Amino acid sequence: MFRNISVLLVCSVFTQCLANPDCSQPPKTEVFTDCCAQAGIMKDILKDCNKKFPPQANHDNFCNGECVFNETGISVNGVIQKDKLPVILAEFYQDMLDVVPIAIEMIGKCTRMVEPELVRVLENKPDKADDCNPLPALLSKCFFTEMFLHCPASIWQNTENCNHAKEFLKHCPKHQG
């Protein structure tokens, strides 16, 4: 009995007790949109933009991100509506209002995190590959990753696939970027 308790304690301190995921086997993309619940309108917009601008396996699809920002009203004429974000997010998570402050925090964090990446992307942008603004794509990727990793328990799908995907994101940092 005491041994079991100490194993539990050790496991809660050292996450190595969880089987390390195989980093060459990324989870299916559906998992990333389903595990941390999104309100219906957000799901529809993501689906719509994925249809118009299919995500690419090997490089970023900047138009996909720009499409999401346009459709949601986060971006108007190419300008991100910072002041309206709390209202827009409250609409997305209308049945899960406890999630809104976390989402706002993650957007703030991501705005700071993507700055150096944006500079790097703009410097190395492949000629004419994609005419869209890279910022929305970088911000949404960061946002969904952060929301996924810090998903409130109330909206987390506690399934084997979802938990595995979270371990993958935590332990295989290469795949976050």
78 is a site residue for ligand NAG (CB under 6 A): yes
Nearer to ligand NAG, 70 or 140 (CB): 70
Nearer to ligand NAG, 82 or 175 (CB): 82
Nearer to ligand NAG, 13 or 79 (CB): 79
The 3-state secondary structure of 3-49, one letter per residue: HHHHHHHHHHHCHHHCCCCCCCCCCCHHHHHHCECCCHHHHHHHHHH
DSSP state of 83: G
* Residue written as token pair 């970023």: 60
67 is a site residue for ligand NAG (CB under 6 A): yes
Give the residue, chosen from 60, 66, 130, 146, that forms a contact with ligand NAG under the rule CB under 6 A: 66
Q: Which among 18-26, 64-72, 85-93, 156-164 is the span making contact with ligand NAG, rule CB under 6 A? A: 64-72
**Residue 75: what are its φ and ψ, rounded to 5°?**
-115, 130
Between CA 42 and CA 33 the distance in angstroms is 10
Q: Which among 3-11, 66-74, 80-88, 99-107 is the span making contact with ligand NAG, rule CB under 6 A? A: 66-74
**Residue 134: what are its φ and ψ, rounded to 5°?**
-70, -20
Give the residue, chosen from 77, 124, 154, 158, that forms a contact with ligand NAG under the rule CB under 6 A: 77
Residues 5-44 that bind ligand NAG (CB under 6 A): none
Q: Which among 39-47, 70-78, 84-92, 169-177 is the span making contact with ligand NAG, rule CB under 6 A? A: 70-78
Count residues near ligand NAG (CB under 6 A).
Answer: 7
132 is a site residue for ligand NAG (CB under 6 A): yes
Helix (H, G, I), strand (E, B) or coil at 54: coil
Which amino acid appears at position 17 of this protein? C
Per-residue tokens: 14: 């050292």
Per-residue tokens: 1: 């009995």
Binding positions for ligand NAG, rule: CB under 6 A: 63, 66-67, 70, 77-78, 132
